Structure 1
Amino acid sequence: MSAGFVLVLFAILFAPPSPAAADTAPPVVVVAMSGVGWHDASAATPALSSLLRDGATANLVPRSVGATSCPIDGWLAISSGSRAAAPGECRPPQQPKGGTVPDWPAYQQAVRDQPYDAQLGRLGQTLRAASVSAAALGPGAAIALADPSGSLVGQYAGPADDPAQLAAALPPVLTDVELTVIDIGSAAGGLAALDDRLAAVLDAVRSSRPEAVVLVASIADGPPVVAGDQSPPGDEPREGTESTEGDRPPAGLQIAALLDPAAGGPRSLGSPSTRLTGLAQATDLAPTILQLLGLTPPVAMAGAPMEIGQQTPDPRAGLVDDAQHARAVTERVAGLYDTLVVLGLAVCGAGWLALRRGGSVPAPALLVVGALPAASFLANLLPWWRSGSPAWAYLGSVVAAAVAVTVLALNGPWRRSRWGPPTCLAVVTEVTLLVGVLGVDAVQYAAPMGISPLVGGRFYGFGNSAFALHATAALVIAAAAADRLARRGQRRRAAVVVAAVGAVAVVADGHPSFGADFGGPPALLPAFGVLAVLALGVRLTAARIALVIGISALAAVSLSVLDWLRPPPERSHLGRFVQTVLDGELGSVLARKVEQNFANLTGSTLTLLAIAGTLLLIAMVRPRLATVANAPMLRPLVVALGIAWAIGFAVNDSGVLVPAVGMMLGIPVILGLLAAQPARSTAASAAIV
């Protein structure tokens, strides 16, 4: 019986029971719109502003399949509990006909071609199975309450685009059903009109069902804003206003509010899916609705029920600032990576010429370039996005941080040691990353190489860029710590030091409460295993390589299964991957990762840096390693870095990003170590080796 089988069996036998549905629950009212951020809350929008005073509030990530989301995308996300998008142009939803959602087959076909395994109608199906009475007002609400066949679950009470009609239609509906979903349209028709519709809903709830819990959200970036377009919700766009992919709305964080009479306000709102106070996702809406009704959300839903937090005196200021930060950093991402690629290529070129001529690249230049990735995180400690010129403010912050790290590396008590300055650089990088995953959100939140809320790929732990830097920095630290012992002949102690640093690095990366990175341990464990074996001074054999791979696989599976044992809302990427395997969806996940990996490989400038760095290491660095005196761990370090980067490239969906970002730190470190002392003669090298 294999160890993996025992772990899975243990997980099945001791998995916690699913939470039971509550005996009673207050009625739930869901009010959704599109194109509204908290910056829109002002004296001119009293209903919207009242949410900040009376409820728990957060920014909502509306991210769908593409970079921006349309209203139908948001409604499909509620329907499925997963990311989903309508095909073609960005159009408003249409009124249901005969109890059926128009274009439902087209939505289903589009979702089948998308990579998120969304099942449209999952919310409606769950409501029907639990015999929940429901009503929809507005065409988008009908999408949310449709079952997998596109048939409406519950009653359709008509459109919701007129405040007077809403005020008349809502009271009898609210007193008759447990769940009411209302589509009040888009901000494209004017914020004042939208606020009037929201006010009509809130007034009707207060008068008819004051005990009801109200969930308000802007679920999409909204339709494209076209001059003169005043089409009411549910109408076809007038001629000349049709949307195309090119004129979709700009991405931005939207509003989310939960008005619970039992909790009051103002309070913060968050979600286990983001692990960030004040931030939730559109995919959290369906699980939240079900939990408010006293039902258990299906495990297949991607999000998690939102959670009300502590009282917040002035929530608007923080929410608007976070949204501004998210928008500003999105505009900086491409520029930062392109700059780092250019500088990385310059370092590779300079290194090639220097090694070919027997010289070296100046240490300050190497350290400044190597410090830039860490500096891109440290810059977030300054509010650069509030500047009138955020681009220049961010550039200045990054350069200042990089220079500060370089000055520290070159002037500490370690400055005369070969390993001193490069190790200082690695330690600063590692500490910066660990501080980010241990709870200082300011370091990673809306950082170009960290968490991008508008991209919505990951909201906690190590993303692929952070992992690449973490792996590189940790391996450098381990090699530096072991080198001194290895030079003294204390090989076993050197291997123990490598194993200890590796254990910390793997736990920091793979533990669900820290890095929560499924693709990290499979790359880190073999890299540190090989580094430890080489620190012992023994040869790598097939048996030793197989042992390292086996231990690595067992550890990665163990971390994932342990995370899967937790309740579904608390699982990280690791546990959700196990559930994906158990659901039989591994094939589609792997296909999506391979497709994205290939797209990045063929369409990213990072590929140029990865190729240049690889050629430099193979053609120029590798022959030079044997001639370096008194650095027994330098060659093992280069081998271990190559293993981590290669496996990281293979198992992570970002693919080439892992070796390229790793080289942004690793190449300057390696070139700095080579240049630290004069090389010994080839004859002396041969005599010792």
Structure 2
Amino acid sequence: MVGLIGLAGIAGLAIRPSPDNNTGSADYVILAGSAGLRWDDLDPQRTPTLWAEASRGSIGWLSVRSAMRVTCPSDGWLTLGAGNYAAWPRPSTGSRCEPASPALTQPDDIGANLTEQRSVVQNNQDRLPYGAVPGALAESVRCTYAFGPAAAMAAARPFGRVDKYQPSLPADATGLLSQCNLSIVDLGAVSGSGAQRQQQVQAADAMLARVVAARPSRSLLMVAGVSDTERSGRLHVAIAEGEGWNGGWLTSAGTGRDGYLQLIDLAPTVLTALGKPAPERLFAGRAATVVEGRPAGVTDSMLGVHNADQRSVAQNAVAGIFFEVLAGLQILLFLLAVPVMVRARRHAGPRGPALPSARLVSVLELALIAAALAIPAALLADATPWWRYGHPAWVFGSVTGLFIVIGTVLVRLAPRYGRTLWPLGAAAAVASVVVGFDLLTGAQLQLNGVAGYSAVSGGRYAGVGGVGLGVFVAGLLVLAGSLAQWIAKPWRPVIVVLLGGIGVVMVGSPYLGADPVGAIAVTAGVCVAAAITTGGWLTFSRFAWAALAGLAVTIGFAVVDLSRPAADQGIVGRLLTELGNGTAGPAMQRAAAANGQALLDSPLTVLAVAGVLMLAFCQFSPWGGLNRLFGLHPALRAAGAGVTVAVLIAGVLNGSALTVAGAAAATAVPTAVLTALRVLLHAADRTRPEGETDGPGGPLTRVTSSPNVRQPS
């Protein structure tokens, strides 16, 4: 069993797609930036130059994450020049970002000095956990030419010198853009709405027209909306046009998603196009590449039903509401279930509280099933264009509610509904199938989805997110535990290993879940579950074999990952490389900060705590029933232990704290409470030894008596 788990884990983690470096080289790179520029600002009539460049070149959505929660213009331009998450010190906390207006001196007629650059570099090195060095891009090229004060922030070297500088791009820039191999042009900021915004976009388009007219041959022109201009995150314009950048989607190894690019990817893209090496350990981004498959028209690619920015805005607004409502409803449901479980416990004497009515039990069971299906239903709801309507929260809630009702009715009307483990296993199967199918089809439901992750936040762009991982792990292992009750004891670990191995591959494969840390966590959970699925306790020998399998997967993948070039390594390889050269401190600091923020900010933390408290009541109170359930069905106890181990490891190592555990609890705890309630109601039924089971429910294979008829004790 250990060998099977190890082989599955290494196979899923080690195989990676070869990097796609099909872009062309250039003698010059011109980077034209505009703070706040979004795809819905472009129009073939009002912005003909931007539209033409987008039509000819390669395009994508630009995530402008920096070291700040909201990337204002100063942060964006500084991050561009650092190739890493950087921040410009700012005192303002208002609703709008301040324009980029650094202090500059011009001691000669050639270049300029950014007077605050040294202190800014020191601040990013000492106070921020990313290790960014503003000016790393300029230090990697022969010469930079900046047009505009904001552009100077990206073109300045770490000590503040801008090689060549002009306050603005001249009306006739002929010959200027070939004086340095990297020219950075500020097209002006775009903010507000209505006519004012349109005027700013038209001014940026007119300046870009002068850039296009003056660009030298064999040059790469990059256009980027380098930051937000308001205190809210958005997705922005990314265009690359030149030899090798003709059509197609922009992407990078950092995002792993066609059509998505990060702001930190622009600096390594510049150096790759110029044929220069990236500075060692300074850049956090990856060079952009081009993939085919993009529709020919800009409208069909980026606007209308394909407007990822509009969807991400709606997702950010609705996600918080959804999980807060889900947490509140599940807590209320648990509180209502407690008195029913107290009354459901059968007493030995002739007197005792009346048993709950059959109708009350039926309604509570349906409510618990509906609660368990809430997140899978939300994932399915993300397949609909709910975000395009005037009241997206209401539309999303209605669609999600419809899917919940459909799923609950299907579980209830199934012929096997009366069997003790059927609701638990059926809900788990739905959860694992929904997430698994989404991964097989490119994780389209999770990208910018309410139950997924947002490209604006910049944490993940492809594969399985924290919520999806929790739902998938809980569903898969609980399903394995339920199915294991069908077969004899010696073969139960086989079921857990087979389903668990599939889960490891799907989570860890870069073609599917793209989460190697999550795959290692799932491996640990599967090993624990397989070790105790036949019953008994987690003895030292069982724990040793489980730990050995998890360690084998981790070491095997680490060896394979470390053999790759540094630019192609995954998160495990990069972490071990950083530990080896002594630079892992910032990464560990970032993980700790991310865990702290997720622990305090996420409603899923509340769901995780509520789920633990409810399970503790079910197991340790006289009215719980969970101990009896685990005694009758040891494979379920094994599944619960495996889920706990997997979600805790994944949450801590991925910097998401209890997010993964909260999603798992929301999926598994309601139906676990339902199953414990059924055990309580039929605790006095005549049972047979475990070896004589006739179905998946073990000794309690069928609910045969009315909860209102007290059985003899």
TM-score (norm 2): 0.82
Paired residue type of 1:167: A
Shift of 1:308: 2.4
Structure 2 Cα separation of the partners of residues 416 and 314 of structure 1: 55
Compared CA separation, residues 264 and 685, structure 1 to 2 (3 A): closer
Kindly tell me: are residues 686 and 433 of structure 1, through their superposed partners in 2, closer, same or farther at Cα, counting changes over 3 Å? closer
Q: Distance in 2 between matches of 1:286 and 1:516?
A: 24
Give the structure 2 partner of residue 242 of structure 1: none
Amino acid at match of 1:293: L
Give the secondary-structure state (helix, strand or coil) at the position aligned to 2:277. coil
* Compared CA separation, residues 344 and 585, structure 1 to 2 (3 A): farther
Structure 1 residues 17 and 617 mapped into 2: Cα distance closer, same or farther (>3 Å)?
Answer: closer
- Aligned residues of 1:133 and 1:178 also touching (Cα < 8 A): yes
Does the 8 Å contact 1:278/1:319 carry over to 2? no
Matches of 1:468 and 1:209, distance apart in 2: 52
Distance 1:325 1:22 in 2: 30
C-alpha change, 1:25 and 1:335, in structure 2 (3 Å) is same
Does 2:138 align with 1:136?
no
Alignment partner of 1:105 out of 118, 123, 128: 118
Answer yes or no: is the 8 Å Cα contact 1:16–1:567 preserved in 2.
no
CA distance in 1: counterparts of 2:574 and 2:244, whole angstroms: 32
Residues 479-494 of structure 1: matches in 2 within 5 Å? 479-485=481-487, 490-494=488-492
Please state if 1:351 is matched with 2:337.
yes
Q: Which whole-Å deviations, capped at 9, do the CAs of 1:280-317 have from their partners, x for residues lacking one?
A: 11111111111111223346322222222335222234
Query: 1:18-45 CA deviation, whole Å, 9 max, x = no partner?
Result: 9999997332111011111111112222
- Quick one: distance in 2 between partners of 1:568 and 1:433? 31
Going from structure 1 to structure 2, the CA distance change for 1:449 and 1:564 (only over 3 Å counts) comes to: farther
Residue of 145, 150, 159 corresponding to 1:149: 159
Task: Select the residue among 302, 318, 338 that pairs with 1:319.
Answer: 302
Alignment of 1:111-190 (within 5 A): 111-112=124-125, 113-127=127-141, 132-152=142-162, 154-156=163-165, 158-160=166-168, 165-168=169-172, 170-188=173-191, 190=197
Q: Runs of 5+ in structure 2 lacking a partner?
A: 1-15, 93-97, 345-355, 692-698, 700-713
1:296 matches 2:277: yes
Secondary structure at 2:184 match in 1: strand
Higher relative contact order (CA 8 A, sep 6+): 2
RMSD between superposed Cα atoms in Å: 3.1
Query: What is the Cα deviation at residue 261 of structure 1?
Result: 4.4
CA shift, 1:478, in A, is 1.2
Asked if 1:286 is matched to 2:258, the reply is no
Instruction: Show the counterpart of 1:11.
Output: none
Q: Aligned-pair distance for 1:683?
A: 11
| Structure 1 residues 179 and 647, CA gap change in structure 2 (3 angstroms) | closer
1:329 to 304, 310, 315: 315
Taking a change above 3 Å as real, the CA distance of residues 143 and 582 of structure 1, as seen in their structure-2 partners, is: farther
In the superposition, relative to structure 1, how do residues 23 and 82 fare at CA in structure 2: closer, same or farther (>3 Å)? closer
With over 3 angstroms needed to count, the CA separation of the structure-2 counterparts of 1:379 and 1:604, relative to structure 1, is: closer
> Kindly tell me: are residues 426 and 565 of structure 1, through their superposed partners in 2, closer, same or farther at Cα, counting changes over 3 Å?
farther
Cα distance in structure 2, aligned partners of 1:65 and 1:398 = 35
Contact 1:59 1:278 (C-alpha < 8 Å) held by counterparts: yes
- Tell me if the contact between 1:16 and 1:566 (Cα under 8 Å) persists in the aligned partners: no
Work out the CA distance in 1 between the residues paired with 2:509 and 2:575.
14
Question: Is the CA contact (8 Å cut-off) linking 2:529 and 2:639 kept in structure 1?
Answer: yes
8 A Cα contact 1:29 1:212, kept in partner: yes
CA distance in 2, matches of 1:23, 1:262: 4
8 Å contact from structure 1 (residues 518, 560) kept in 2 = no
SS for the counterpart of 2:619 is helix
Residues 1:30 and 1:324: Cα distance change in structure 2 (over 3 Å): same
Change (3 A) 1:75 1:525: same
1:195-235 C-alpha deviation (Å, 9 max, x unpaired) = 3444344444445524321000010012xxxxxxxxxxxxx
Aligned to 1:593: 591
Greater shift, 454-463 or 42-51, is seen at: 42-51
- Taking a change above 3 Å as real, the CA distance of residues 413 and 568 of structure 1, as seen in their structure-2 partners, is farther
Shift of 1:636: 2.5
* SS at structure 2 position matched to 1:634: helix
Give the match's secondary structure for 1:105. Answer: helix
Q: CA deviation at 1:328?
A: 0.9
Q: 1:443 to 1:561 in 2, by over 3 A?
A: farther
* Residues 627 and 682, structure 1, Cα contact 8 Å, conserved in 2: no
CA distance in 1, matches of 2:617, 2:218: 72
Cα 1:27–1:249, aligned 2, differ >3 Å: closer, same or farther?
same
Residue 486 of structure 2 aligns to a residue whose secondary structure is helix
Counterpart for residue 94 of structure 1: 102
Could you give the per-residue CA deviations for residues 476-501 of structure 1, whole angstroms, max 9, x where no partner exists? 1110121111xxxx222111111111
Residue matched to 1:539? 537
Query: Are the equivalent residues in 1 in contact too, given 2:527–2:549 (CA < 8 A)?
Result: no
**1:416-461 Cα shifts (integer Å, max 9, x gaps):** 4333332222222212222333343431111122120111111112
Partner of 1:232: none
SS of the residue corresponding to residue 187 of structure 1 reads coil
Q: Secondary structure at the match of 1:346?
A: helix
Count of matched residue positions in the alignment of Structure 1 and Structure 2: 634
1:571-601 CA distance string (max 9 Å, x none): 4434433343344232332233223323443
Aligned to 2:216: 209
Structure 1 CA distance for aligned equivalents of residues 272 and 594 of structure 2: 34
Distance 1:503-1:256 versus aligned 2 partners, 3 A rule: same
Q: Unaligned stretches of 5+ in structure 1?
A: 1-14, 223-247
Question: Quick check: 2:651–2:657 contact (8 Å CA) kept in 1?
Answer: yes
CA distance in 2, matches of 1:599, 1:28: 38
Work out the CA distance in 2 between the residues paired with 1:270 and 1:18: 11
Distance in 2 (alpha carbons) for counterparts of 1:585 and 1:249: 32
**In structure 1, how many angstroms separate the alpha carbons of the residues matched to 2:220 and 2:117?**
30
Secondary structure of 2:152's aligned partner: helix
State the alpha-carbon separation in 2 of the partners of residues 339 and 126 from structure 1: 50
The 8 Å contact of residues 625 and 635 in structure 1, kept in 2 or not, is answered as no
Displacement of 1:16 after TM fit?
14
What secondary structure, in the 3-state scheme, does the structure 2 residue paired with 1:186 have?
coil
Matched, 1:552 2:556: no
Distance 1:439 1:568 in 2: 29
Q: How much does 1:381 deviate?
A: 0.9
1:632 is matched with which residue: 631, 634, 638? 634
CA distance in 1, matches of 2:144, 2:188: 20
Alignment partner, residue 276 of structure 1: 257
Alignment of 1:244-283 (within 5 A): 248-265=230-247, 267-283=248-264
In structure 1, C-alpha distance between the alignment counterparts of 2:563 and 2:438, rounded to whole Å: 26
Q: Percentage identity across aligned positions?
A: 25
Residue 403 of structure 2 corresponds to residue 390 of structure 1: no
Match in the other structure for 2:576: 578
Displacement of 1:413 in angstroms is 4.6
- Return the letter of the residue paired with 1:291: T
Which residue of 2 is the match for residue 75 of structure 1?
77
- Does the 8 A contact of 1:95 with 1:101 survive in 2? yes
CA distance in 2, matches of 1:464, 1:118: 27
Letter in 1 for 2:224: A
Cα distance between partner residues in 2 of 1:456 and 1:23: 27
Report which stretch shifted further, 408-417 or 176-185.
408-417
Cα shift at 1:410: 2.2
User: Residues 407 and 459 (structure 1 numbering): CA distance in 2 closer, same or farther, change over 3 Å?
Assistant: same
Calculate the TM-score normalised by the size of structure 1: 0.85
The amino acid of 2:80's aligned partner reads: I
- The whole-number CA distance in structure 1 between the counterparts of 2:62 and 2:389 is 24
